[in-house]
Amino acid sequence: MLSQRKTIFVVDDEPDIVELITYNLEREGYKALGFTQGGAALEKAAQLQPDLIILDVMMPDADGFELCKKLRSTPETASIPVMFLTARTGEIDQIVGLELGGDDYVTKPISPRVLIARVKSLLRRVSEQARTERIVAPEVLKIGTLEIHRQNYTVWVDGVEMFFPKKEFELLAFLAANPDKVFTRDQLLNRIWGETVYVVDRTVDVHISKIRDKLGRYASCIETVKGVGYRFRWKSDAPVAA
């Protein structure tokens, strides 16, 4: 049994699947709550803030991808890990799910034992990332009039509050907490998405582009190191990005 029970939501429109997964999670010592409607799960997630959400994609009342976007755009749920569990096996679906902020993408059918192993692996990775973040940066990182707030996944630029989806925020916070250090795309993929999750190099580039769009005159602080990757370099006179 776990010394401190972690809460896991299981969201799937098929009651039999919800029952099977919650039963096996409970056997492993987790507190598992099942939902057959995405809207109800979304509401409860904001209240209870579970340690993980296992989320189906194809549900009649709400598309899993849309639910993930809502989770990532809400401060109370932005940092909750999401594992997609779905019958959609296409590579494009996997890429979309991960780029929307999913932390893992698992396809059906899958044995309960393998699923539990993936759950444990994801929770370990999230825990390790949290410990690393506490070491490398404070809860609030201030650089000029740029402020990065870890507790609610928000960024302030010249006094204006900006909200970043989970992966964009983690990428910005990690680079800003390690100024002048160059990270390859592979290093950033492993650090932010994890070694067990398949994403392409282009994913980092897309996220960097979105981050720069939101940073305004601080956009140039994220430098592209040609042929290598990216680094954050503080520039007090950072111009407005063209």
Give pLDDT tens digits along the chain (242 positions). 444 789 999 999 999 999 999 999 999 999 999 999 999 999 999 999 999 999 999 988 788 999 998 898 887 888 899 999 999 888 888 888 887 888 899 999 999 999 999 999 999 888 876 665 554 556 788 888 999 988 777 899 999 998 888 888 889 999 998 889 999 988 888 888 776 555 666 888 989 999 999 998 899 999 999 888 999 998 655 444 33
Q: Are 1 and 31 in contact (CB under 8 A)?
A: no
CA-CA distance, 222 to 84, in Å (whole number)? 31
pLDDT of residue 43: 92
Matching residue, tokens 């916070």 = 173
Tell me the CATH number for domain 7-134. Answer: 3.40.50.2300
Structure tokens given for 162 = 């900006």
pLDDT at res. 196: 55
Q: Where are the alpha helices (DSSP H) in 49-162?
A: 64-72, 91-99, 112-136
Structure confidence at residue 74 (pLDDT): 83
Cis amide prior to 179 (ω within 30 degrees): no
Which sequence spans correspond to the domains of the chain? 7-134, 137-232
Contacts of 100 (CB under 8 A, 6+ apart): 65, 68, 69, 72, 165
Query: Structure tokens of 106?
Result: 């698992």
Any idea what DSSP says for residue 37? -
| Architecture, CATH, for domain 137-232 | Orthogonal Bundle (1.10)
Sign of CA dihedral 140, 141, 147, 153: negative
Q: What is the pLDDT of residue 242?
A: 36
pLDDT of the residue at 3: 45
Per-residue pLDDT at 220:
92
CA dist 112 and 124 (Å) reads 18
pLDDT of residue 50: 95
